[in-house]
Amino acid sequence: QVQLQESGPGLVKPSQTLSLTCTVSSGSISSGPYYWSWMRQHPGKGLEWIGYIHYTGSTYYNPSLKSRVSISVDTSKNQFSLKLSSVTAADTAMYYCARFYNRNDESAFDIWGQGTMVTVSS
C-alpha cells in the first residue's frame, strides 16, 4: 500500500519561504493516473487544496495561493515538494500531502500523509 510522509521545518519566520517534502513509499510516483497534492488545514478549520503535480511536471494551483506557491517533483527520489513564499501568520496550518487519482469519471484524494504542523512566527 502506497504511503506518504511529509517532512520539513515546523517553524518558519514571517516573510520567508516554507518548504516541505513528501516522500512516497511502496509505490512509484511515476506511475498511474495520479496527481501528487498538497493541502492545508488551519487550526480548527476546514481543508484547503493548495495544488498538485503530475510526475511529468504539469502543475495545477489554487488561484488563491498561485502567486506564492511552487510544487515540484523529483522522480529519482520518489518525492514531491512544496514551496510557499512570503509567509505570514495566516499560513500557520497543518500541511498534508495526498495522492489524487483521476480516471474515467472518478477522482478523489485517496491516500494522505499524516500531516506536518507548520507555524509562522519570529
Partner 1 sequence: DIQMTQSPSSLSASVGDRVIITCRASQTISTYLNWYQQKPGKAPKLLIYAASSLQSGVPSRFSGSGSGTDFTLTISSLQPEDFATYYCQQSYSSPRTFGQGTKVEI
- Name the residues that contact partner 1, by CB under 8 A: 46-49, 60, 62-64, 96, 98, 100, 102, 105-110, 112-115
Residue 89 or 108 having the CB closest to partner 1: 108
Residue 43 or 76 having the CB closest to partner 1: 43
Distance (Å, rounded) from C-alpha 105 to C-alpha 78?
A: 27
Distance (Å, rounded) from C-alpha 29 to C-alpha 9?
A: 23
Residue 104 or 122 having the CB closest to partner 1: 104
Question: At closest approach, how far in Å is the CB of 43 from partner 1?
Answer: 12
Residue 76 or 104 having the CB closest to partner 1: 104
CA angle 58, 69, 53 (to 5 degrees): 25
Distance (Å, rounded) from C-alpha 26 to C-alpha 2?
A: 5
Question: At closest approach, how far in Å is the CB of 4 from partner 1?
Answer: 9
Question: At closest approach, how far in Å is the CB of 108 from partner 1?
Answer: 4
Torsional sign, CA 78, 84, 85, 86: negative
Question: At closest approach, how far in Å is the CB of 11 from partner 1?
Answer: 19
Torsional sign, CA 30, 31, 32, 36: negative
